[in-house]
Structure 1
Amino acid sequence: MAATTSDGHVLLFKKLGGLIAILFGCLLTAVGVTFESTGTIVIGVLLLALGAVLLVLKIVRRNQEPPLI
């Protein structure tokens, strides 16, 4: 359990950025499917993938620290 980190702003950006990217990705994908717009669907799926990658990077970075025993 790390209460503070030296790069807290980067971790916060990855978490919030990932969640926001997933949210906008879902919205753009839904709008693209509704209006049958291939470009909007592609952008939405890319934002979904970007959000997932940012969250995975945050989780991997957090799990690399040695356990505090």
Structure 2
Amino acid sequence: MVAQTSDGHLLLVKKLGGLFAIIFGCLLIAVGVTFEYGGVTFTGVLLLVVGAVLLVLKIVRRNEGSSLP
């Protein structure tokens, strides 16, 4: 059963934004490490962290109503 929220589109944007940030961050990290570009590597790590935070916030928001035994 799917729970309906009033801000469903915002949650979808957070999920997709988080996934794209993680993917793009990993690519930037790979390029930065390969060619020894410190700034690109740092930007990739930053995007990776932002993407992970967005996904974690979405998961926490979804599980707000449920309680663990």
Q: TM-score, normalised by structure 1?
A: 0.90
Could you list the structure 1 runs, at least 4 aligned residues long, displaced by more than 6 angstroms after superposition.
Answer: none
Aligned residue pairs total 67
Matched position secondary structure for 1:4:
coil
> Aligned equivalents of 1:53 and 1:66: distance in 2?
21
**Structure 2 unmatched ranges of 5 or more:** none
> Aligned equivalents of 2:2 and 2:65: distance in 1?
9
Offset of residue 17 of structure 1: 0.5
Equivalent residue number for residue 55 of structure 1: 55
> Aligned equivalents of 1:19 and 1:66: distance in 2?
24
Computed over aligned residues only, the root mean square deviation of the Cα atoms, in angstroms, reads 1.3
> Aligned equivalents of 1:8 and 1:17: distance in 2?
14
Q: TM-score, normalised by structure 2?
A: 0.90
Equivalent residue number for residue 39 of structure 1: 39
Q: What percentage of residue pairs aligned between the two structures are identical?
A: 72
